[in-house]
A and B are shown apart, each in its own frame.
Chain A
Amino acid sequence: MSLSIVKLPTLWIVQDTDADNTVEKDVCAGPCRLLHVQVTNPNNPSELAYLKLFNKANPILGTDAPDEIIECPGSNVASAAGGLAQVTDVPIHPPKGLLFSNGLSFACTVEPGTAGTTTPTLNVAVTLQVQPGSD
């Protein structure tokens, strides 16, 4: 994990350049609204990565059910799709975002669903745009 957070007045940019099976817990230190998700997986040719987002401050990866799961293909798939699919962009509608009332935590593994705690072989980058608070 290599987490950084840029804090603008009403918008935080949360970046993890090495999202893995270490859960980034409660990144907003309380409720927040998720506005946009980007997952980039250019380093793993054939390995799918799964970003798991939890509405929990302290989830147990592999046990607790993620509230959102986003799949991001590796570079082989990206090449077949014109080189762009290795970046998965998921904007959130409604525009006010998706409320994580208990806190937003996330991790990245190579397994879909709830189970599995295997870290991607090479770095997967995650960028979240969030609005702190529940307003």
Chain B
Amino acid sequence: MALSVHGFLNARLFTDIIADASPEQNLTSGAGTAFGFEADNSQNVVPVYLKFYNSISVSVGTDAPTWVFMIPAGEVRKGCFNSRGLGRVFATGVSLCCVTTGGTGGNTSPTNPVKVSLATN
């Protein structure tokens, strides 16, 4: 992981140039709203899974993610949590990781770097 944060008023953009099994925890310092993301999996030949947790402290592979997005091999995926502009409230906090399996289990990092950007408030 290599996290940077940019903020303007209430909006924040988190960028993790190496999203992996080491979770980025409590990005919103408590409750927050996640609006959209971009995940670049162009350097891998297999899909990876971007997982979001409504938690401030995550045990990857054990805790159940509330959102999972499959990022196809060799592609950049852009996504939103609700296209109606509301985003999705994470009442406890926003944490994320990126691994090679979907669902709850699995804590293997992608082989090559996956860059993830996330917009929150």
B49 touches A67 (CB 8 A): yes
Q: Is A31 interfacial (CB 8 A cutoff)?
A: no
List of 7 A-B pairs having minimum Cβ-Cβ separation, nearest first: A113-B64, A65-B103, A114-B103, A113-B104, A69-B68, A89-B83, A93-B78
- Among A85, A111, A112, A116, residue most surrounded by chain B Cβ atoms (within 10 Å): A112
Contact A50:B66 (CB < 8 A) given known A90-B79, A93-B78: yes
> Are B81 and A90 neighbours in the complex by a CB distance under 8 Å?
yes
Tell me whether A98 and B70 are in contact (CB under 8 A).
yes
Q: How far is the CA of A87 from the CA of B72 in the complex (A)?
A: 26
Give 8 CB contacts A-B under 8 Å.
A64-B103, A66-B102, A67-B47, A69-B103, A71-B66, A92-B77, A94-B77, A112-B66
Q: Which secondary structure dominates chain A's binding surface?
A: loop
Number of interface residues of B (CB under 8 A): 30
Question: B residues bordering A, Cβ < 8 Å?
Answer: 47, 49, 63-70, 72, 75-84, 86, 88-89, 101-106
Find out whether the CB atom of A71 lies under 8 angstroms from the CB atom of B88. yes
Across the interface, A85 reaches (CB within 8 A) one of B49, B78, B86, B103, namely B86
**Contact B79–A69 (Cβ < 8 Å):** no
CA distance A65 to B106 in the complex (A): 10
